[in-house]
Structure 1
Amino acid sequence: MHALHKLLLFHLLTSLGRDALGSKIINGKKAPENSMQYMVSLQTSKGEHECGGFLISEDFVVTAAHCNGCKVVLGTHNLKACGIERSIVKWCKHKNYKNVGEGNDIMLLKLSQKVQLDNSVQTIQLPTSEMNIGDKENCQVAGWGKTQTNGPAVDELRVVDVSTINKQVCERRWADLPLPDNVICAGGYKTNKGFCQGDSGGPLVCNGKAVGIVSFNMGHNCNYPNFPNVYTDISKYLPWIDNVLQQKNC
């Protein structure tokens, strides 16, 4: 039955289209200048923004496995402004990723060449060991896109404060469509703040470290509260991440 529920979750998310996934920021604010220099826009060849991501080394970006794109833009909060562009040469999806409903929604992107770290581009730290995120920790999530259900996208990076949600509470809310393993819940439940439809892959940042990756919410509805927002728990994938970074290959 558990496998059936996961299959139902997958079909529900995919039947709603790509917009069922994402991190468009609800009730957030414009990100301050000279902040979040690790944020990355994953784009199509035509320069259309597809997903968020974040820089963890001079030549690797982390995003969600369900994301698509062939290049990244760094060093700018405004997608209409000129940023630093790099093509992608390797898409390293986790080997166990099948769909968002079954988890492992994490991917590393190998850039065509290293970026120089400076005042406009910086990396963000990951957890140093496997961790269990506590209840009601204050964190942030950022992204480009819609600021309300069926609303317009935005060009400037927006950020919102969210609190982590007890895993048992989250599991009960998602009881009819059980959560995959290795996830964190934050925002989108008993609050009017969280992420919405559009681009995924952005980081959940707690205490200055990227601890989660935006994976999915429930349907097209961003009129919170309803279901907790779900992130991939980065700390559960540290050995895999380290291996990719060392080998410079998938």
Structure 2
Amino acid sequence: MASLQFQDKHSCGGVLIREDFVLTAAHCEDEQTMTAVLGAHNIKKKEKSQQRIEVAKRHPHPKFKKDGHQYDIMLLELKNNATLNTYVKIIGLPKSDEDLPARVKCEVAGWGRTGQTKPISNVLKETTESIQFSRECDHIWKEYFVSSRMICTTFDKKKGGVCQGDSGGPLICKGELQGLTAFTSLCNCNDPKYPHVFTQVKSFLSWIKEVMKK
């Protein structure tokens, strides 16, 4: 898990997929200097487990547009390699041929808001969301949802789920990274009528590998 920060303030989540690359959402892009904080639990503290590494280069997907939801994926090239240890590990990319059936439970995590009116969390939170039928998401999100490149989930209002500040964080199903937090209802991230939407990582495997090869 990575906390992506500008001027020591948390902005988005991300995941370490190689010692020198973090995967996140393209809408997390900003012109300021970006730092990836790895191995953190409480981002308000200087924990010994933390590694703070400046982002050297950003690679947003070439088809991403700032005012849109499509192709919302970005690779961050780190200035130095992360040191892998008990607190900092790499998550593997998914297998390209595997489909996720509805109702599968998946883990989400982040330092985002714990509710629409609440501030971001200092400590890393984790909860579960379940894969939703694509047709439900088509019906609710209309043209914003593209089932070939996105995954959507249902969640329990009491347990909560992803919210603002969790963008770019992982959706982990059956131990594999399947999605990156993309968008929720702007008015209320905790409204179960609006499924949460994630960028589907397996749709972008060839692009990810191409960027990292260069």
TM-score, structure 2 as length reference: 0.90
Decide which structure has greater strand share. 2
- Tell me how far apart the structure 2 counterparts of residues 186 and 196 of structure 1 sit (CA, whole Å): 13
**Which residue of the partner structure matches residue 14 of structure 2?**
53
Matching residue of 1:129: 96
| 1:12 paired residue number | none
Kindly provide the amino acid, as one letter, of the partner of residue 39 in structure 2.
G
The structural deviation recorded for 1:151 is 1.1
Deviations 1:44-68 (A, max 9, x none): 1x20101000000100000000003
CA contact (8 A) 1:94 1:104 kept: yes
Deviation at 1:230, TM superposition (A): 0.5
* SS class of match (2:27): coil
Per mean C-alpha deviation after superposition, the further-off stretch among 127-136 and 147-156 is: 127-136
State the distance in 1 between where 2:67 and 2:4 align: 18
1:159 to partner: Cα distance: 0.5
Distance 2:171 2:206 in 1: 20
- 2:36 equivalent among 72, 86, 89: 72
Secondary structure of the residue aligned to 1:66 is helix
Unaligned runs of 5+ in 1: 1-38
Task: Tell me what 1:93 maps to.
Answer: 60
SS in 2 for 1:118: coil
Percent pairwise identity = 39
- Alignment-derived partner of residue 145 in structure 2: 179
1:81 partner amino acid: K
Tell me: CA distance 1:195–1:239, structure 2 relative to 1, closer, same or farther (3 Å).
same
CA offset at residue 132 of structure 1?
2.6
Structure 2 distance, partners of 1:130, 1:240, is: 16
Return 5+ residue gaps in structure 2 as ranges: none
Deviations 1:170-219, CA, capped at 9 Å, x for gaps: 111223x441351000134xx31321223410010011111101000111
Alignment partners' CA distance in 2, 1:100 and 1:64? 13
CA contact (8 A) 2:28 2:168 kept: yes
Runs of 4+ in 1 over 6 A off after TM superposition: none
- Whether contact under 8 Å (1:80, 1:155) holds in the other structure is yes
2:4 and 2:21 map into 1 onto residues whose CA distance is: 12
The 3 A distance-change label for structure 1 pair 234 and 203 is same
Provide the rounded CA distance (Å) in 1 between the counterparts of 2:210 and 2:195.
31
Q: Does structure 2 conserve the Cα–Cα contact (< 8 Å) formed by 1:101 and 1:179? A: no
* Matching of residue 166 in structure 1 with residue 145 in structure 2: no
Instruction: Give the match for residue 141 of structure 1.
Output: 108
| Mapped partners of 1:171, 1:100: distance in 2 | 20
| Distance of 1:204 and 1:141 partners within structure 2 | 5
Tell me how far 1:226 sits from its aligned partner: 1.7
Q: What's 1:243 paired with?
A: 210
- State the Cα deviation string for residues 46-95 of structure 1 (Å, max 9, x = none): 20101000000100000000003611110111102222110111100111
Equivalent residue, structure 2, for 1:42: 4
* Other structure's SS at 2:154 match: coil
